[in-house]
A and B are shown apart, each in its own frame.
Chain A
Amino acid sequence: MISRREFIQASLAASTILGTSGLSRWSRAMAQQSLTQDQLLQFDAFGNVTLIHITDIHAQAKPIYFREPEINLGVGEAKGRPPHVVGKDFIEMFKITPDSPEAYALTYENFTDLAKSYGKMGGLDRVATVVKSIRAERPEALLLDGGDTWHGSMTSFKTKGQDMVNIMNQLGTDAMTSHWEWTYGQDRVKEIVETLPFPFLGANIFDVEWDEPAFEPYKIFETGGVRVAVIGQAFPYMPIANPKWMFPDFSFGIREERMQAVVDEVRAEGVDLVVCLSHNGFDVDRKMISRVKGIDVILTGHTHDAVPEPVVVGDTILIASGSNGKFVSRVDLDVRDGRMMGFRHKLIPIFSDVITPDAEMAAVIDAERAPFKTELEEVVGQTESLLYRRGNFNGTWDDLICEAILSERDAEIAMSPGVRWGTTLLPGDNITREDIHNATSMTYGQCYRTEMTGETINVILEDVADNIFNTDPYYQQGGDMVRVGVLGYHIDVSKPIGELISNITLLKDGSDIDPARSYVVAGWASVNEGTEGPQIWDVIESHLKKTGTVKLTPNDSVVVTGA
């Protein structure tokens, strides 16, 4: 048997995606000459079992830009450890060449230049090419989808997820778990699940009334001559982070003891390998596998982290495969005598200009888009600034959204949710209606307008901050900080709830927020039933039609300490 150390080295070697041509400001053609599909797919098959993991696609069927975070702070034991390493630190930690294709795919450094050189990433027709290539070598490879698949685009919104269901059926999913899927409502989820040719797994999805398991917890596959149990773990904080009224009959939660019981159950059935397909988020999963015994591989999702090497915790390997179709993970495993003897892993970056689209999948995607093509492609404005969202505190997309809310809804303060989805636009790009939906699409997008006291605003900021910076991962919900327009504040991420936030000021005049005063606040994505207001994408479109070109000034309204 190979030692754990050798496993890691083997995976590191396979994880070195490409050659080492350091290039800055190369022409696009030059840059792409150094990349080939064969290099991207190169993998020395290992062992007898292959897993293919993709997660958090957020309905991005077409290639996109997605800038990885500039700020992604870890607290407690996660401080300074992946995925809480960004930019140059990430490049050093994983020994990546600056300005290389890997640096572009995995970090925010020099993003605009590199994006122009290397092009868009993802596209499920390219992903299909990768999956087919792996299956040509390993016909029994299992394709596991970590969820957040049916939500995140205009076409998925208009078809209530059906476009993505059809696309994923074409891709050949073997099992999935869920999160935003539930925001189409429990009836729609049940309606789709009945049609799926694969299981919709969730060991932690319970019936509210009886507190009993409500969905298939696992499926046992025969593959590579062994039996593999795939256990699903849906997003634990569904009814807290998303509108509970949309799925009132179901309860979620981490339910660590339930996960242990299910692992024990499949072990008792004599499976050779236990895989957990999770939407817990990276830090939650790292904690869970340190406490639940018997999981060999955990495929994590939710927090959108792309980590080029597996993280090994005890006897478990943790795989994080990014988001938005940017990456596919291939994990080959040597499973013998009822145990995992070794692994080889590669986080495959989907460079859309390098990987040939699969013609069959391209046709399916085009057919799904055809009824909406004119609406999707209508140009609403232009941007001179890089528009991105991902990052703990603010992103330019939300600066733009808050600006639109303030102007269109006549509010004093704007709020925009700290979700981690939302694609990126480069300076000089047109902003199409589809682009606006990629940053805002949801089934509860009403832009409300209400009054809140300064005290309430403080409570909101404290509570959201605790959801991100609580030192116990089990109390983290996995989003980023709520974005606030025209407010500035200080945050000390080393402090407990109640002491995280200070110095909340109105930026226009630098005055302190008065706890007793009432402010007119507008925002979107309320979890309350019956929220009224125009859809946020219409608010943005109306704003852009008046302003034309977006030009944002750098936002330094949040002062962070304690990191």
Chain B
Amino acid sequence: MKLTRRDALGLALGGVAASLLPARAMADAAADAIAAFTGGAATGTGGITLTAPEIAENGNTVPVSVDAPGAVSIMLLASGNPTPQVATFNFGPAAGSQAASTRIRLSKTQDVVAIAKMADGSFVQAASTVKVTIGGCGG
């Protein structure tokens, strides 16, 4: 039988990674996007909650949500994708909450990053590693 690489990996018994590369240094493209968003300002932590699965059930559609009370804008990045920018959510003064949910496609194991611009012009950041794997080895 003729198998694609993905099929062949799925045949094997263990959970199987689509890529062996761990999320190491953030790709240049992601760093550039962050610099453009923050204008090079330092980013703090806290006040932003990023929710993503630890291991993606389906790398083609990974549910991600972000909540940053008081933010005026939140940028979401898939740092390891060829095109890291996922979305930038802008919140007007009448917004009831500063939260957003979406589903994103992840090409491989990587950090999903969210950066919020707060009303005072400061930035906060959160990141979460999402492992992309296929195949299984249940207990």
A residues in contact (CB < 8 Å) with B? 56, 148, 179-180, 211, 235, 237, 239-244, 251-254, 257, 281, 302-304, 415-421, 448, 450-452, 456-457, 459-464, 466-467, 472, 474-475, 477-482, 496-498, 521, 523-528, 531-532
For A239, give the chain B residue with the smallest CB separation: B57
Sort A-B residue pairs by CB-CB distance and give the 10 closest, nearest first.
Answer: A464-B14, A241-B136, A417-B13, A479-B137, A463-B17, A241-B138, A460-B12, A478-B139, A239-B57, A482-B14
Q: Is the CB of B54 within 8 A of A253?
A: yes
List, in ascending order, chain B residues with CB within 8 A of A240's CB.
Answer: 15, 55, 57, 133-136
Residues of chain B contacted by A475 (CB below 8 angstroms): 54-55, 129, 131
Find residues 102-122 in chain B having any chain A CB closer than 8 Å to their own CB: 109
Asked whether, in the complex, the Cβ of A459 is within 8 Å of the Cβ of B16, the reply is yes
Task: Name the residue on B nearest A301 (C-beta).
Answer: B139
A230 to B136 alpha-carbon distance, docked (Å): 29
Residue of A nearest to B63 (CB): A211
- Interface segment, one of B2-10, B27-35, B70-78: B2-10
Which chain B positions have C-beta within 8 A of A304?
A: 139
Closest partner residue, chain B, to A467 (CB atom): B15
Q: Mark B30-57, 1 if CB is under 8 A from A, else 0.
A: 0000000000000000000101011101
Chain B residues within an 8 Å CB radius of A239: 57-58
11 A-B pairs, CB-CB below 8 angstroms? A211-B63, A241-B137, A244-B57, A252-B57, A463-B14, A464-B14, A467-B15, A475-B55, A478-B138, A479-B14, A497-B20
A244 to B3, CA, bound (A): 19
Chain B residues contacting A532 (CB-CB under 8 Å) are 1
Residues of B within 8 A of A477 (CB): 15, 55, 136-139
A361 to B12 alpha-carbon distance, docked (Å): 40
**A417 with B139, Cβ < 8 A, contacts A211-B63, A253-B57 known:** no
Residue in B14, B21, B49 whose CB lies within 8 Å of A418: B14
For the complex, would chain A's binding face be called helix, strand, loop or mixed by DSSP majority? loop
Q: Does B22 contact A (CB under 8 A)?
A: yes
Residues of B within 8 A of A (CB): 1, 3, 5, 7-17, 20-22, 49, 51, 53-55, 57-58, 63, 101, 109, 129, 131, 133-139
Asked if B20 and A242 sit within 8 Å, CB to CB, the answer is no
Indicate whether A463 sits within 8 Å of B22 (C-beta atoms), given known contacts A211-B63, A240-B57.
no
Given A460-B13, A460-B135; 4 other pairs, CB 8 A cutoff: A239-B57, A417-B14, A498-B20, A531-B11
**Considering the chains assembled together, what is the distance between the CA atoms of A302 and B11 in angstroms?**
23
A23–B77 alpha-carbon span in the complex (Å)? 63
Taking CB as reference atom, which chain B residue is nearest A500?
B20
Query: Distance in Å from the Cβ of B59 to the closest Cβ of chain A?
Result: 10
How many interface contacts (CB-CB < 8 Å) are there between A and B?
160
Nearest CB of chain B from residue A549's CB, rounded to whole Å? 28
Contact A450 B135 (CB under 8 A): no
Q: Shortest CB–CB separation between residue A416 and chain B, in angstroms?
A: 7
Asked whether A450 and B137 contact (CB < 8 A) given A254-B54, A496-B22, the answer is no
A257 contacts across to B, CB distance below 8 A:
49, 51
- A526 is contacted by which of B13, B51, B129 (Cβ under 8 Å)? B13
| B12 in contact with A523 (CB, 8 Å) | yes
Closest to A527 in B: B136
Which of A461, A480, A527 touches B10 (beta carbons < 8 Å)? A527
B17 & A180 in contact (Cβ 8 Å cutoff)? no
Whether A526 contacts B10 in the complex (CB less than 8 A), given A241-B136, A463-B133, A463-B135, comes out as yes
Q: Are A479 and B8 in contact (CB under 8 A)?
A: no
Residue of B nearest to A302 (CB): B139
Q: Chain B residues near A526 (CB, 8 Å)?
A: 10-13
Asked whether A460 and B16 contact (CB < 8 A) given A254-B54, A474-B54, the answer is yes
Q: In the bound complex, what is the Cα–Cα distance between A497 and B110 (angstroms)? A: 13
Q: Is the CB of B54 within 8 A of A180?
A: no
Cross-chain contact of B139 among A420, A461, A482 (Cβ < 8 A): A420
Q: Are B13 and A242 in contact (CB under 8 A)?
A: no
Q: Report how far A478 CA is from B5 CA in the complex, Å.
A: 25
Q: Given A243-B136, A450-B8, A477-B137, are A462 and B20 neighbors across the interface (CB < 8 Å)?
A: yes
Contacts of B58 in A (CB 8 A): 239, 244
**Which of A421, A450, A461, A463 neighbours the largest number of chain B CB atoms within 10 Å of its CB?**
A463
Q: Is the CB of A482 within 8 A of B13?
A: yes
Q: How far is the CA of A237 from the CA of B131 in the complex (A)?
A: 12
B11 shortest CB reach to chain A, Å: 5
Q: Please give the distance in Å from A520's CB to the nearest CB on chain B.
A: 12
A482 touches B12 (CB 8 A): yes
A321 CA to B47 CA, complexed, in Å: 39
* Closest CB in chain A relative to B26 CB, distance in Å: 16
**Does A459 lie within 8 Å of B9, measured CB to CB?**
yes
Residues from chain B with a CB closer than 8 A to the CB of A497 are 17, 20, 22, 109
Q: Contacts of B131 on A, CB cut-off 8 Å?
A: 466, 475
